[in-house]
């Protein structure tokens, strides 16, 4: 990839990536506040200012490297703090807080689909306006779908692991909580063996095709 192409890719992906991970975390904190825990709000984390949420590795380094390698682009922000003791019903509410992030990503994917559709309608009249909207919308759909699918994997500390912990009997939930410190190592092992790609590929492709069909977008 030459320098010009690389800079174009970075320009296209920067805004979708920042929005995807920022709104994902804000959604966790917002739902937690509605359910009794104001911790994220008190710490100033219920803001769309990406500076408050940026993790140097997960927000910048990992997405940039993956973009340059031409693979799935995803990343993460600093997790918003949630004190489960403040929640009205800790086990149930932690599951609701967890599922809020992937839900936000789904809604953002649909929003970016609207932007891409608008760009396609504008291209015949102004490519300078239409094409950036098309490319950015396409990137926005992709990053939000992959973040949603990845985070719904039932592996702690991903959101899917916390949702599962809130649904299973308490004894199994406690077991999942004990697995959480090893979650990153599990994900790295799945990635290194290619299993992660096999797990994410089918739901990712299904959702991408579904969203593109819903809005009449080219794949």
Q: Which residues have a catalytic role annotated?
A: 25
Distance CA 218, CA 209 (A): 9
Q: Whose CA is closest to 181, among 158, 161, 159, 157?
A: 157
Distance CA 144, CA 105 (A): 5
Distance CA 79, CA 55 (A): 9
Query: Are the C-beta atoms of residues 109 and 211 closer than 8 Å to each other?
Result: yes
Query: Are the C-beta atoms of residues 40 and 57 closer than 8 Å to each other?
Result: no
Cβ-count burial 74-97 (b if 16+ within 10 Å, e if not): bbbbebbebebeebeebeebbbbb
Write the CB contacts of 34 (distance below 8 Å, at least 6 apart in sequence): none
Cβ-count burial 130-151 (b if 16+ within 10 Å, e if not): beebbbbbbbbbbbbbbbbbbb
Distance CA 192, CA 68 (A): 18
The length of the chain in residues reads 219
């Amino acid at each position: 990839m030459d320098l010009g192409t690389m800079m174009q890719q970075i320009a296209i992906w920067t805004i979708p990536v920042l929005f995807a991970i920022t709104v994902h975390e804000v959604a966790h904190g917002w739902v937690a506040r509605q359910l009794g825990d104001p911790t994220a709000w008190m710490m100033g984390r219920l803001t769309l200012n990406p500076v408050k949420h940026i993790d140097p590795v997960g927000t910048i380094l990992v997405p940039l490297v993956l973009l340059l390698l031409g693979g799935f682009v995803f990343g993460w922000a600093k997790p918003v703090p949630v004190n489960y003791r403040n929640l009205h019903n800790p086990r149930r509410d932690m599951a609701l807080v967890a599922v809020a992030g992937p839900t936000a990503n789904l809604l953002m994917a649909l929003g970016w689909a609207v932007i891409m559709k608008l760009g396609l309608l504008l291209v015949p009249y102004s490519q300078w306006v239409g094409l950036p909207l098309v490319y950015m919308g396409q990137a926005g759909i992709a990053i939000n779908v992959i973040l949603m699918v990845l985070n719904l994997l039932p592996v702690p500390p991903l959101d899917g692991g916390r949702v599962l912990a809130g649904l299973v009997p308490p004894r199994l939930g406690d077991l999942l909580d004990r697995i959480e410190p090893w979650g990153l190592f599990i994900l790295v092992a799945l990635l290194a063996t290619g299993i992660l790609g096999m797990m994410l590929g089918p739901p990712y492709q299904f959702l991408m095709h579904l969203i593109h069909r819903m809005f009449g977008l080219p794949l």
